[in-house]
Amino acid sequence: MSLPRGIVAPGIVLGATALAGGLAFAWGTLVERKMFTLRRVVVPVLPPDAEPIRVLHVSDLHMAPWQRDKQAWVRSLAQLKPDLVVDTGDNLGHENGIEGIEAAFAGFDGIPGVYVNGSNDYHGPMRKNWLRYLVRHSGGAKEAPADLDTPRLERFFREGLGWTSLNNAVGSLTVKGTRLDFFGVDDPHIGRDRLDRLTGLIDSQQDEESLDEDASDAERTVTIGVAHAPYRRVLASFVTHGAQVIFAGHTHGGQVCVPFFGALVTNCDIPRRQVKGLSLWRHAYRTAHLHVSAGLGTSIYAPVRFACLPEATLLTLVPAAR
């Protein structure tokens, strides 16, 4: 029995769909997740007449020791000679991932940097049903103790590279004549952030710096907030506390996206349209530039990216328009 003209057999449709899905999975697993990409954006935020500052934003490496190609690509970024590195966490992706991180950032010593931790810097990757992300994000406090070598990671960043921890902390650097005041939080995705402490930390920082600065110094200051996961409550608090630029990661840009539609999930409560890249975050009549990195890695148990290239970003901070 033949089907009427114009009607396609269900088996053919199912077969074609399965083939397309298989090809997409193969592409995302074997090809795209290794297509490391450097994005470049310009952020108009500096005081008038300030020299441009180049900031390398890296995030979500989820490093395993055997990922030599990713390590080599990250290591090559040192040749860009950025003025500052901002690392927004989830560096580790395996119990021996620190070995890969040390190899990846070899050559970055002497380049100033700041960092915060993500949940995967404390807890190793787990097998899970990834479809549940379509229903709700995976955030929530984890009572289990850390099972990764977080102290070694932080020692490498602080002592090996000279970077400043912003895990519920503040810091300050002067780069090309502009003072950058930082504040940050430990990972909000697992409840390690202490937003309640920010006001006190920032006030203490400002009190100390006011003893050494004059009015012209204050005018040449840019305030930067740093967190791993860009939850709305965190972004709102950062803007309230005066952040002019905010750096975050965590979302993987959706990791698996639909062409011409974008991310299906964000794994937090940030709007999908701001799941990656540069945008503006507004709260209570204040606005900050928000940069969310789509990151460079994936869980070793979900090694796929689709329509969402792994990335680092070189942001050039320039004077704001008057």
DSSP code per residue over 118-138: -GGGTS------GGGGGTS--
Lowest mean pLDDT among 14-18, 72-76, 258-262, 283-287: 14-18
Locate 288 and state its tokens: 């900050």
How much is the pLDDT for 275?
Answer: 97
Distance CA(291)–CA(296), nearest Å, equals: 15
What is the rounded average pLDDT of the residues 273-283? Answer: 97
What is the pLDDT confidence band of residue 15, given thresholds at 50, 70 and 90? low
In this predicted structure, the answer to whether residue 136 has a pLDDT above a threshold of 80 is: no
Choose among 203, 311, 172: nearest CA to 251. 311
In this predicted structure, the answer to whether residue 143 has a pLDDT above a threshold of 90 is: no
Q: Which residue has the tokens 């390690």?
A: 192
CB atoms under 10 Å from CB of 77, counted, come to: 21
220: β partners = none
Q: What are phi and psi of 318, to 5 degrees?
A: -130, 165
How much is the pLDDT for 69?
Answer: 97
Choose among 192, 143, 141: nearest CA to 169. 192
Beta carbons within 8 Å of 40's beta carbon, 6+ residues apart: 313, 314, 315, 316
Give the rounded distance of the alpha carbon of 204 from its chain centre. Answer: 27
What is the rounded average pLDDT of the residues 126-146? Answer: 57
In this predicted structure, the answer to whether residue 31 has a pLDDT above a threshold of 60 is: yes
Mean pLDDT comparison of 15-19, 26-30, 131-135, highest-scoring range: 26-30
How much is the pLDDT for 305?
Answer: 94
How much is the pLDDT for 30?
Answer: 72
Contact of 36 with 296, CB cutoff 8 Å: yes
Locate 14 and state its tokens: 């199912």
Beta carbons within 8 Å of 242's beta carbon, 6+ residues apart: 202, 223
How much is the pLDDT for 149?
Answer: 95
How much is the pLDDT for 206?
Answer: 76
What is the pLDDT confidence band of residue 29, given thresholds at 50, 70 and 90? confident
Distance CA(108)–CA(84), nearest Å, equals: 10
For the stretch 46-91, pLDDT in tens is 999 999 999 999 999 999 999 999 999 999 999 999 999 999 999 9
Classified as helix, coil or strand, 40 is strand
Burial bucket for residue 62 (CB in 10 Å: 0-12, 13-18, 19+): buried
What is the pLDDT confidence band of residue 24, given thresholds at 50, 70 and 90? low
How much is the pLDDT for 75?
Answer: 98
More confident residue, 133 or 159: 159
What is the rounded average pLDDT of the residues 13-27? Answer: 53
What is the rounded average pLDDT of the residues 235-255? Answer: 97
- Mean pLDDT over all residues of the chain? 88
The strands making up 53-58's β-sheet, listed across from edge to edge, are: 37-46, 311-319, 53-58, 84-87, 113-115, 164-165
Classified as helix, coil or strand, 100 is helix
Percent of the chain clearing pLDDT 70 (strictly above): 82
Sign of the alpha-carbon dihedral angle for 160, 194, 291, 224: negative
How much is the pLDDT for 7?
Answer: 59
DSSP symbol at 30: I
Q: Report the predicted TM-score, pTM, of the whole model to 2 decimal places.
A: 0.90
Distance CA(126)–CA(56), nearest Å, equals: 29
Q: What are phi and psi of 115, to 5 degrees?
A: -150, 160
Distance CA(124)–CA(147), nearest Å, equals: 7
How much is the pLDDT for 20?
Answer: 47
For the stretch 93-118, pLDDT in tens is 999 999 999 999 999 999 999 999 99
Report CA Rg, the chain: 21
How much is the pLDDT for 226?
Answer: 98
CB atoms under 10 Å from CB of 71, counted, come to: 22
Beta strands in the chain (DSSP E): 37-46, 53-58, 84-87, 113-115, 164-165, 169-175, 178-184, 221-226, 245-248, 257-258, 262-263, 277-283, 286-292, 311-319
